[in-house]
């Protein structure tokens, strides 16, 4: 393991003013996104959509440090024959790859899941590294559940252990792991219950990372923010989300971790940006704090594009705008009135 190189990549992933584009939707998930805008989910259409994003020069070169890809996408070529990986590199971004194989029901734990994909992972990582991947991602899913009855210790422990084994394999194959333990914002829980569960999940995760000898300087954490559940009657102000998120992370995340790249977790575009900005405005953080957004970066350009060639330029402007807004938020320089300006 070359720790210096791992740290160099991890630090670049969380560079000030830049963040990560999560374009790693599975074939099933991207089909839902394309269905919503009336576009057939063919390999060519999926390619065209991603190519449009990766060719969004201003947004990519100035505000996107890395792109998480799916197995299909990392192997695809653009219309002119250029590998999509090369388009990402040309824009000054790092190619990454989602390596988990999704979730399955966790035995004897009703309504809970475990992320699979450890079998054969070393060989897949080696192949992806040969294609050009510099980092990888593995997502664990933790559900608080209705009436606050979840999660179980079994679920938290099993997913933390899988995340740690994945991270160790990545580092052994010279790939930076994004460690993503997501506490879902579904349900009726309030912000304090989110903090309670996320604190537990993060502490278990870092314990397992220690046991599996993962070097913290060579990884990036991708957690959820402290937010109430979607069905909670008790909403939280932006400042409360920022303060409780930072307090929670300072209690759980060692300063050796180069950076934290938040997932949006179902927040609206502007909400995810506002929360990120408020967190960075607090200052005095031991790690760099940025974004690793999927829908919060892509919803606007997807709708604008709608599969039509004549809409590509407008869709790229929409993507550039969202990338710029979030880039400003990583610096604590975002303002709400900027959202009202045309992309």
Sort strands 113-115 and 103-105 into parallel, antiparallel or unpaired.
antiparallel
Residues of the chain with pLDDT under 70: 146-148, 341-343
Which pLDDT belongs to residue 341? Answer: 62
Which pLDDT belongs to residue 343? Answer: 43
Q: Nearest to residue 148, comparing CAs of 192, 214, 91, 115?
A: 192
User: What pLDDT digit, counting tens, does each position of 101-128 carry?
Assistant: 999 999 999 999 999 999 999 999 999 9
Which pLDDT belongs to residue 338? Answer: 83
Q: How many domains does the chain have?
A: 1
Question: Which of the residues 134, 137, 222, 244 is marked catalytic?
Answer: 222
User: What pLDDT digit, counting tens, does each position of 183-199 carry?
Assistant: 999 989 999 999 999 99
Contact, 162 vs 214, CB < 8 A?
no
Which pLDDT belongs to residue 149? Answer: 75
Which pLDDT belongs to residue 305? Answer: 96
Which pLDDT belongs to residue 68? Answer: 98
**Which CATH number goes with the domain that contains 128?**
3.20.20.70
Residue with tokens 């102000």: 237
Question: Which of the residues 180, 182, 204, 208 is marked catalytic?
Answer: 180
Provide the residue range defining the domain that includes 179.
3-340
DSSP string, 109-161: -TT-EEE---TTHHHHHHHHHHHT--EEEEEEEE---GGG----HHHHHHHHH
Alpha carbon 266 to its chain's center: 12
Is 180 considered catalytic here?
Answer: yes
CB-count burial class (<10 Å; 0-12, 13-18, 19+) for 255: exposed
């Amino acid at each position: 393991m070359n720790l210096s190189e791992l740290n160099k990549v991890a630090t670049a992933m969380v560079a000030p003013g830049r963040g990560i584009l999560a374009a790693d939707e599975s074939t099933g998930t991207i089909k839902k996104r394309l269905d919503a805008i009336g576009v057939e989910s063919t390999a060519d259409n999926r390619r065209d959509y991603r190519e449009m994003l990766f060719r969004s020069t201003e947004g990519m070169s100035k505000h996107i440090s890395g792109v998480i890809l799916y197995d299909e996408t990392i192997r695809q070529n653009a219309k002119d024959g250029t590998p999509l990986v090369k388009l990402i590199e040309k824009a000054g971004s790092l190619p990454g790859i989602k390596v988990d194989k999704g979730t399955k029901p966790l035995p004897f734990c009703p309504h809970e899941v475990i992320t699979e994909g450890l079998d054969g992972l070393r060989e897949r990582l080696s192949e992806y590294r040969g294609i050009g991947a510099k980092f990888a991602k593995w997502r664990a899913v933790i559900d608080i559940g209705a009436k606050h009855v979840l999660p179980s210790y079994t679920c938290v422990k099993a997913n933390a252990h899988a995340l740690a084994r994945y991270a160790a394999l990545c580092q052994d194959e010279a790939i930076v792991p994004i460690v993503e333990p997501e506490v879902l914002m579904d349900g009726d829980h309030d912000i304090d219950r989110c903090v309670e569960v996320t604190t537990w999940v993060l502490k278990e995760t870092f314990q397992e990372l220690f046991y599996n000898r993962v070097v913290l300087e060579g990884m990036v954490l991708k957690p959820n923010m402290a937010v109430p559940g979607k069905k909670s009657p008790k909403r939280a102000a932006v400042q409360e989300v920022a303060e409780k998120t930072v307090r929670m992370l300072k209690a759980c995340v060692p300063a050796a971790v180069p950076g934290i790249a938040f997932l949006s977790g179902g927040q609206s575009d502007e909400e995810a940006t506002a929360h990120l900005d408020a967190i960075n405005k607090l200052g005095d953080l031991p790690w760099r704090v940025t974004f690793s957004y999927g829908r919060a970066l892509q919803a606007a350009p997807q709708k604008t594009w709608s599969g039509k060639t004549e809409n590509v330029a407008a869709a790229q402007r929409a993507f550039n705008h969202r990338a710029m807004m979030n880039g400003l938020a990583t610096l604590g320089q975002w303002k709400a009135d900027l959202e009202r300006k045309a992309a």
